[in-house]
Structure 1
Amino acid sequence: MPKAGIHPNYNEIRVMCACGSNFATRSTHKGDIHVEICSSCHPFFTGKQKLVDTAGRVERFRRKYAKAEPAAK
């Protein structure tokens, strides 16, 4: 026989994303939940890639270690 009164309340809440989409779900959390990214705007689910400037990072790395390279030879 299960014990009564040991489980938390299970409420219906709204999850709201920064992109503007929202959906209803159930949780033990009280109040609405605000998230920065969801399945509607995440690149994995949308198929859109966000470009990251890696060329600047690579060039900065090469400049940093170009000075140390002639001294090692």
Structure 2
Amino acid sequence: MKADIHPQYHLIKVVMTDGTEFQTRSTYGEEGATLNLDIDPKTHPAWTGGTQQLLDRGGRLSRFNSRFGNLSFGKK
């Protein structure tokens, strides 16, 4: 096998949206890096039953609504 072809696997700190932290092993960043989550299982609608609203972070939702928001899809 070839040497040094695999990414480095090390400990990082993950910070959830509510501020809780935990350490895990990952190939993200460097040793001791911090990964701040925007959406996690405590806030994502798939895990919360859809009661929370996702923020439109990239403008995609507003762009979609501006293009297709006035369609009725056959409903009157």
TM-score normalized by the length of structure 2: 0.50
Identity percentage of aligned residues: 37
Gaps of 5+ in 2: 54-69, 71-76
Q: Which is helix-richer, 1 or 2?
A: 1
> CA shift at 1:10, angstroms?
0.6
Contact 1:15 1:23 in 2 (8 A): yes
Q: Tell me the matched-pair count.
A: 51
Query: In the aligned structure 2, how far is the partner of 1:45 from the partner of 1:21?
Result: 18
Deviations 1:14-64 (A, max 9, x none): 21122223333222222110111101222321225136xxxxxxxxx6xxx
Instruction: Find the aligned partners of 1:23 and 1:46 in 2 and give their Cα distance.
Output: 21
Where in structure 1 do 4 or more consecutive aligned residues deviate above 4 Å?
Answer: none
Query: SS at 1:37's partner residue?
Result: coil
Which stretches in structure 1 are left out of the alignment for 5+ residues? 52-60, 62-73
CA radius of gyration, larger in:
1
